Amino acid sequence: MHPRVLSVRQHPEIAPRAIAWFQKTWASPASAPVYQDCITHCLTAPGPLPQ
């Protein structure tokens, strides 16, 4: 099975799960809030990126 890439902007219901995954996979304790901030703000960003 291949992983699916989903737009968090098109599927905002997955934002908490995406935040948790990125924090678990890539974040240090100091950088964890950056992932939450980025994903939360991309939901209403006026430009095409990030999403």
Q: What is the pLDDT of residues 2-27, one digit of tens each?
A: 888 899 999 999 999 999 999 999 99
CB 27 within 8 A of CB 34: yes
Cis status of the peptide bond prior to 29, with omega within 30 of 0: no
Its pTM surpasses 0.85:
no
Dig out the tokens for 42 from the structure.
Answer: 């991309």
Q: What pLDDT was estimated at residue 3?
A: 86
Dig out the tokens for 49 from the structure.
Answer: 């990126």
